[in-house]
């Protein structure tokens, strides 16, 4: 099986040779950073439509983690275009972090469409190093479709725990690797290298639940599901929340 996966990977990589050439020349990352926000703006509309009920379920108890100030301070990690804004409760104070500055104009549009929120600031930074965010300053951290593409999941989760106040919560919804016995997992392995390059560092085969289980949370509520999405490769999902 491993040999078959290797041969098919090689064939796919040959077909994707122009992308690899641009990457070798140092141009592909720049191209991705420019076009990916436009692609994601379209994708999140479809994703939100297909996952709306699950997102409503996920974020239904956000208010329970409101801090002593009486207002919910929320940090969205890898905020993208602001696709989650409509699911947040009224009066929520939102801080956004994303390493791609090209998302800012899409965020401004989302903020204008979600006047029920109080937008604090947009920080251009990787989630592994959010030094601009004070320790213990957030009631909630949200991360959706982000752990698939970060460089270091353990370091990200350490930063999440640092910025959360005691008793704060980390909410997540992520696509993950399918069960090893499935054909979908087979094709995830075959396509993963090209998928990673095409979709700005996204990995198809990450078992993100393992990193969450090892993180410094006192409570973890995690569920697996086959999401009702058009692309079968990303149907395996986990979602839930963890309490510091």
The pLDDT tens digits of the residues spanning 133-186 come to 999 999 999 999 999 999 999 999 999 999 999 999 999 999 999 999 999 999
CATH number of the domain residue 121 falls in: 3.40.50.150
**Over 80: is that where the pLDDT of 1 sits?**
no
Tell me, yes or no, whether 130 lies in a domain.
Answer: yes
CA quadruple 223, 224, 228, 234: dihedral sign: positive
How far apart are alpha carbons 51 and 90 in whole angstroms?
21
Tell me, yes or no, whether 110 lies in a domain.
Answer: yes
Distance between first and last Cα of the chain: 41
Q: pLDDT-derived band of residue 21, with 50, 70 and 90 as boundaries? A: confident
Q: pLDDT-derived band of residue 16, with 50, 70 and 90 as boundaries? A: confident
When divided into structural domains, the chain yields a total of: 1
Between residues 98 and 2, which one has the greater pLDDT?
98
- The mean pLDDT value for 13-22 works out to 88
Average the pLDDT over each of 21-25, 73-77, 230-234 and give the range with the smallest value.
21-25
- The mean pLDDT value for 77-92 works out to 93
Tell me, yes or no, whether 192 lies in a domain.
Answer: no
Tell me, yes or no, whether 37 lies in a domain.
Answer: no
- The mean pLDDT value for 15-44 works out to 87
Q: Which two tokens stand for residue 205?
A: 């085969």
How far apart are alpha carbons 199 and 230 in whole angstroms?
17
- The mean pLDDT value for 3-9 works out to 87
Question: Exposed, middle or buried by CB within 10 Å (0-12, 13-18, 19+), for 149?
Answer: middle
Tell me, yes or no, whether 41 lies in a domain.
Answer: no
Q: Which two tokens stand for residue 81?
A: 């275009």
Q: In this predicted model, what pLDDT tens digit does every residue of 184-213 receive, in sequence order? A: 999 999 999 999 998 888 999 999 999 999
- Please give the C-alpha separations between residue 241 and each of 58, 60, 149, in angstroms, as whole numbers: 8, 11, 19
Query: What does the mean pLDDT of the chain come to?
Result: 92
Tell me, yes or no, whether 26 lies in a domain.
Answer: no
Tell me, yes or no, whether 199 lies in a domain.
Answer: no
* pTM of the complete model: 0.94
Residue 159's domain comprises: 51-172+204-243
Q: Which residues lie closer than 8 Å to 143 by C-beta, 6 or more apart?
A: 76, 77, 78, 127, 156, 160, 170, 171, 172, 174
pLDDT for residue 239: 97
CA quadruple 154, 155, 161, 164: dihedral sign: negative
- Please give the C-alpha separations between residue 104 and each of 41, 81, 110, 194, in angstroms, as whole numbers: 12, 8, 10, 27
Tell me, yes or no, whether 181 lies in a domain.
Answer: no
How far apart are alpha carbons 151 and 95 in whole angstroms?
22
């Amino acid at each position: 099986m491993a040999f078959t996966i290797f041969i098919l990977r090689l064939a796919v990589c040959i077909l994707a040779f122009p992308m690899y050439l641009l990457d070798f020349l140092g141009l592909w990352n720049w191209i991705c950073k420019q076009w990916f926000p436009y692609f994601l703006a379209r994708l999140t509309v479809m994703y939100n439509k297909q996952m709306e009920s699950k997102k409503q379920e996920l974020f239904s108890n956000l208010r329970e983690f409101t801090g002593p100030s009486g207002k919910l301070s929320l940090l969205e990690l890898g905020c993208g275009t602001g696709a989650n804004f409509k699911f947040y409760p009224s009066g929520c104070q939102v801080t956004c972090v994303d390493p791609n500055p090209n998302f800012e104009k899409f965020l401004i549009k989302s903020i204008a469409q979600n006047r029920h929120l109080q937008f604090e600031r947009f920080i251009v930074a990787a989630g592994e190093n959010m030094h601009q965010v004070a320790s213990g300053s957030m009631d909630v951290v949200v991360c959706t479709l982000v752990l698939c593409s970060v460089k270091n999941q353990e370091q990200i989760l350490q930063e999440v725990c640092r910025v959360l106040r005691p008793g704060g919560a980390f909410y997540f919804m992520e696509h993950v690797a399918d069960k090893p016995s499935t054909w979908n997992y087979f094709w995830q392995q075959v396509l993963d290298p090209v998928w990673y390059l095409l979709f700005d560092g996204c990995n198809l085969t990450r078992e993100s639940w393992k990193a969450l289980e090892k993180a410094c949370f006192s409570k973890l509520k995690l569920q697996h599901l086959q999401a009702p999405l058009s692309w079968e490769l990303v149907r395996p999902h986990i979602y839930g929340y963890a309490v510091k």
